[in-house]
Chains A and B, each alone.
Chain A
Amino acid sequence: MNLSQTILGITFKNPTVLASGIWGITASGWREVARGGAGAITTKSLWLHEHKGHPNPTIIETDHWMLNAVGVPDAGVEKAREEIGDFMKDHPIPLIANIIAESIENFAKTAEKIAELKSDILEVNISCPNVEDEFGKPFACSIPDAAKVTKAVKKVSGKIPVFIKLSPNVESIAAVAASCADAGADGFTVINTVGPGMAIDLKSRMPILANRVGGVSGPGIKPIAVKCIADVYAATKGMIPIIGTGGVYSGEDALELILAGASLVGIGSAVSRFGAGVFKKVCDEMQEWCTNEGIDSINQMIGGMHKELASRAQR
């Protein structure tokens, strides 16, 4: 059973991808994730200049959900140059550089600087729910703004494919995706965290996160991710690759996102339960399931739900 694929000219040995914001701040951390069996890694969001995050607590978790408001701390492009440069020396697996900015102009400037580092993909974070107090509603919540960011980044990114990371916290993710696709997006990452949400400590009566609110991830958001992926796949007629992200802990979780339309599957919160070994675990489970079902390539599964629905409609 073959888990490998070539997407936009990039070969992935398996569909698992380290999601942005998880463990991803140094080349040595990315290599450890690569050794754990990931098909690709995504960097934590990179800013043009230094950006402070929120005070702690920034990440809390229960059986059902994780809540985070780290606040996207980063040291700026110079650190990115050092760490990405280091990783690209041996380049064990594809690197997806995730970028963030507070304005369309700075998205373009950051993309231009990061594109020089020749990452395999540029992922554009227009959907972080944790810096709203600082910068207002994310660009992903406005159909025209999402398209403007896409256009600005595409203009400066050369041959590097541009993936737009979308928010589930919108009226129509399909409409946002369609407008970004018109503006030239090469792919989508679906979804960023949900909410934002809040958790309160009973005795002190205080919100636990220092930022009070934070993005929700973990097992409970998988149905939202599946629905959003299906919407984006349908809106783009299955022509644009999707990195599906949200609530993946097992091979069956990953396959569900793939049937909804994902080509690659991001894994984030599950890293805290299974460590770097989560990538191999998910791949082994996908292998086993597909082998038992007589499926010999992962390509046969991508967008499978849409194909099944269409074939039933014709009967």
Chain B
Amino acid sequence: MTQIPLESRLPTTYRIKEIRQETPMVKTFTFDGSLGAKPGQFVMVWLPGVDEIPMSVAFDDGAHTRITFFAVGGMTEILAEAKVGDLVGLRGPFGTRYTWDPGDHIVLVAGGYGAAPMYFVASQAVTHGCTLEAIIGARSKEHLLYVKELESLPHVSVHLSTDDGSMGFKGYNTNILDKLLNVTQDAETQDPPVDKVFSCGPEMMLKSVLTICDKYNVPCQLSLERYMKCGFGICGNCTVDPLGVRLCTDGPVVKGEVCRKIAEFGVYHRDDLGKKNAF
């Protein structure tokens, strides 16, 4: 279990420095201040008097912290109304991060707002001599996120997919993953072998990523989402069956070999009462 610094267990309120409208439903807030978050980690985002929810860190450069979120029900809709200068509490960073070795060739598979943490990974991994293939998938063109940002990075090839074919490949991002891994198995091509696959997005997509990585025997790291309250391993709400581990401390980024042992992966998740809900 990772040691979580005690000072990260109380929220600190920051003023919103900048707001960017990514798509009609998605916004990015930038805060003046760093929590020292690493790619894949999450923070608890607190709107005083309303609620507090976990969100992946979209970026942390040591001076600023960024979150990218969908305004879909509950607190996120109220958060989306916030203006520059408003106060938002951040608590964390919590959980595990994506890990790579210098010079790795990595495939990123992003679904929905999973593109934000994937950009965070890419921006850091390229400074360690890594080369990356970033596959971004969405329902349609207007829902694709972080395309320009990823395209602006050196040593990153961007692949796009949309369900309706309005941009890039018509189909799922996992179809592109299958093709990429299949090609790299071909000894005649000059493509470097894929060392690791990282993924963030809806759980059914992650399940498909795991299946494909198993097929080609490529190690993967997946970011799993469960209902979280404390973020530091005390409430037990994010415990997964049958391992009994807490995803706020032993996740959210979980290696494929661990994910395979989580029987509820892609089957059900528990709500705030601990009740099982099927995916």
Contact = CB atoms under 8 A, between A and B. Distances in A.
Nearest to A26: B239
A203 B9 contact: no
Interface in B65-120: 87, 89, 91
B185 to A, nearest CB: 37
Interface of B: 1, 4, 6, 9-11, 13, 44, 46, 48-53, 87, 89, 91, 229-230, 232-237, 239-246, 249, 270, 272-275
Contact of A28 (B52, B53, B243, B249): B243
A28 to B, nearest CB: 4
A199 to B, nearest CB: 7
A210 interface: yes
B10 A62 contact: yes
Contacts of A66: 234
Contacts of A73: 272-274
A29 B91 contact: no
A22 interface: yes
Given A73-B272, A75-B273, A44 B236 contact: yes
A208 to B, nearest CB: 6
B32 to A, nearest CB: 12
Given A23-B235, A25-B236, A210 B273 contact: no
A275 interface: yes
A204 B13 contact: yes
A55 B51 contact: yes
21 contacts: A22-B236, A23-B233, A25-B239, A28-B243, A31-B244, A32-B243, A32-B244, A51-B273, A52-B273, A58-B229, A58-B235, A60-B10, A60-B91, A66-B234, A73-B272, A79-B273, A201-B11, A269-B234, A272-B234, A275-B233, A275-B249
Interface of A is mostly: loop
Contact of A26 (B1, B51, B87, B236): B236
A63 B6 CA distance: 6
Interface of A: 22-26, 28-33, 35, 44, 50-53, 55-63, 66, 70, 73-75, 79, 199, 201, 203-204, 206, 208, 210, 268-269, 271-272, 275, 277
Nearest to A269: B234
B235 A59 contact: yes
A30 B9 CA distance: 24
A59 B229 contact: yes
Given A61-B6, A61-B10, A208-B10, A25 B237 contact: yes
A24 B236 contact: yes
A56 B44 contact: yes
Contacts of A206: 48-49
Contact of A61 (B53, B232, B241, B274): B232
Nearest to B241: A28
Contacts of B239: 23, 25-26, 28-29, 32
A201 B91 CA distance: 12
Contacts of B233: 23, 271-272, 275
A199 B10 contact: yes
Contacts of A22: 234-236
Given A26-B274, A56-B46, A61-B6, A272 B236 contact: no
Given A70-B229, A201-B48, 4 more contacts: A28-B240, A52-B272, A56-B51, A272-B9
Contacts of A79: 273-275
- Name the residue among A58, A60, A66 with the largest chain B CB count within 10 angstroms: A60
A253 B1 CA distance: 23
Contact of B9 (A60, A75, A210): A60
